[in-house]
Amino acid sequence: MAEGKIAGLYDLERTLGKGHFAVVKLARHVFTGQRVAVKVIDKSKLAGEAAGQLLQEVRCMKLVQHPNVVRLYEVIDTHAKLYLILELGDGGDMFDHIMRHEGGLAEPRAKHYFAQIVHAISYCHKLHVVHRDLKPENVVFFQEQGVVKLTDFGFSNRFQPGKMLTTSCGSLAYSAPEILLGDEYDAPAVDIWSLGVILYMLVCGQPPFQEANDSETLTMIMDCRYTVPPHVSAQCSDLISRMLQRDPRQRASLEQIEGHAWLQGGDPSPASRCLLPLTSHKRVSQEEHEIIIQAMTCGHIADRDTIQEALEADRYNHITATYFLLAERMLREKQEEQSRRQSLLYDLAKQGQSRTDLSDTFGPGDGTGGRQPVAEVAGGSQPSSGRQPPRVLLKAPTIDTAITKSTPALQQICEEEEEEEEEECRPGVMERKSSSLNQEQMRDFLRAGARRPPCRGEVLGWGAE
């Protein structure tokens, strides 16, 4: 399989996803060895309006830094390509997860995931950012962190409360009626409709509006016609109905959703206690900061002053990306060490309780009460008073030459893509409804009617505000 490099900074591996304008590749950060996702966008394929939307995606991702939103580490811009270096999920997307659970997920599990999505969207809306393409395909699992995160802000935009937007965009099965009609619309309301579709899919295992062809699906959406299976609880069904309201003024607000009875009792944001991903260098200790700075200077990433200036200015360049990837690796190792210690203490406590129970039952036999030195119980050969040497949390790889950017190497990345067979729509299995429609295409769609459902991953384009 062909591999490429982005100017010696990232080793590119297999393709994770592909659209008309962008390719998402798995990559490894050369200096830290950490894996990331690289979204490679061919700017030559974008019209002026679409290029403007692309810049809006970057602005929104820089603004929205939240534990339940995929982290943007770095932006590399060249004449022909734009490279977005993103946090890599390790558990696949929510669509595939739903497909593995016929009839939907158990409600406690669905509540656990849905609360996190709501928490992320609530944060976005408070910053006046609307996503406009919420769907299970854009919710990614991070198993190591134990959370789900929103991704793909390609249709996101800033909005002013009370001011309507006009762009018709998104994916048919998840789009609000007012977007499909090409009307002006209230930005938060369209995300809330999509949240209703996602919750329905979580507990039912299929979309509320999906027919044999897009024309029938469109009719169902316009009529707001769907059926909730009997196994769904009354409270959950009520919450779905409050979001899937034909009239956007009648839809529940995010405050009402978060306060709904069905969502009570769960953890609204388990990610809020997670240290990863880092969004500020001020969240690491001074000692850790010095270790990272030393590793970067020894590796010829940059000098101390340049690193500090990039962090203070909140830049999205290779300096800050390297800093945060190193810091996250350090924190991850610290968390793993703490977890091992807690596990050891728990095991020792259980063994101690077991020996106490035996001592109470049989009595002392050899004058020691059946107890052994702690070091022996743990299986170690060191004296119980001995100390383990401090473990090195971070080792900078040896690099003989400074890392430099090479524009020709950047431009070659898309030319080295491997050929892949297009995935066919499988009969009898729910398809990914991932087609993205701009305003002009939506008008054509409404006039001519749908002729076929789009295959998985098909992208039709962008509209303009």
Q: Answer yes or no: is 190 within a domain.
A: yes
Residues with Cβ < 8 Å from 130, sequence gap 6 or more? 124, 156, 157, 158, 159, 165, 187, 188, 190, 191
pLDDT band at 460 (very low <50, low <70, confident <90, very high): very low
Q: Answer yes or no: is 292 within a domain.
A: no
146: region left, alpha or beta (phi > 0 left; psi from -120 to 50 alpha): left
pLDDT band at 43 (very low <50, low <70, confident <90, very high): confident
**pLDDT tens per residue across span 401-413:** 333 333 333 343 3
Q: What backbone torsions phi and psi does residue 454 show, to the nearest 5 degrees?
A: -70, 145
d(CA 357, CA 205): 49
Taking 60 as the threshold, does the pLDDT of residue 73 lie above it? Answer: yes
Active-site position among 133, 152, 186, 191: 133
Angle, vertex CA 49, rays to CA 46 and CA 55, nearest 5: 80
Higher pLDDT, 127 or 423: 127
**pLDDT tens per residue across span 415-440:** 444 344 344 444 344 555 445 555 55
Q: Answer yes or no: is 173 within a domain.
A: yes
Residues with Cβ < 8 Å from 178, sequence gap 6 or more? 184, 185, 189, 190, 248
Count of domains forming the chain = 1
- Of the candidates 28, 9, 30, 21, the residue with the CA atom closest to the CA atom of residue 75: 9
- What is the torsional sign of CA 410, 412, 418, 424? positive
- The helix (H) or strand (E) run that includes residue 117 is helix 107-126
As a whole number, the mean pLDDT across the chain is: 77
Mark whether 133 is an active-site residue: yes
39 is in an annotated binding site: yes
Residues with Cβ < 8 Å from 140, sequence gap 6 or more? 70, 89, 91, 92, 93, 94, 148, 149, 150, 151
Q: Answer yes or no: is 296 within a domain.
A: no
Q: Answer yes or no: is 14 within a domain.
A: no
Q: Answer yes or no: is 183 within a domain.
A: yes
Could you say which DSSP state residue 415 is in?
G
pLDDT band at 115 (very low <50, low <70, confident <90, very high): very high
Could you say which DSSP state residue 171 is in?
B
- Rounded to 10 deg, the angle between the 304-312 and 286-298 helix axes is 120
Q: Answer yes or no: is 101 within a domain.
A: yes
pLDDT band at 225 (very low <50, low <70, confident <90, very high): very high
Containing structural domain, residue 178: 94-273+437-448
Place of tokens 């996503």: 131
Return the CATH number at 120: 1.10.510.10
- Of the candidates 208, 210, 57, the residue with the CA atom closest to the CA atom of residue 138: 57
Q: What backbone torsions phi and psi does residue 41 show, to the nearest 5 degrees?
A: -110, 125
d(CA 55, CA 47): 13
What distances in angstroms separate CA 71 from CA 128, 389, 392, one per listed residue? 18, 35, 27
Q: Answer yes or no: is 416 within a domain.
A: no
Residues with Cβ < 8 Å from 144, sequence gap 6 or more? 90, 332
**pLDDT tens per residue across span 150-207:** 999 989 999 999 899 998 888 899 999 999 998 899 999 999 999 999 999 999 999 9
**pLDDT tens per residue across span 77-94:** 888 888 999 999 988 899
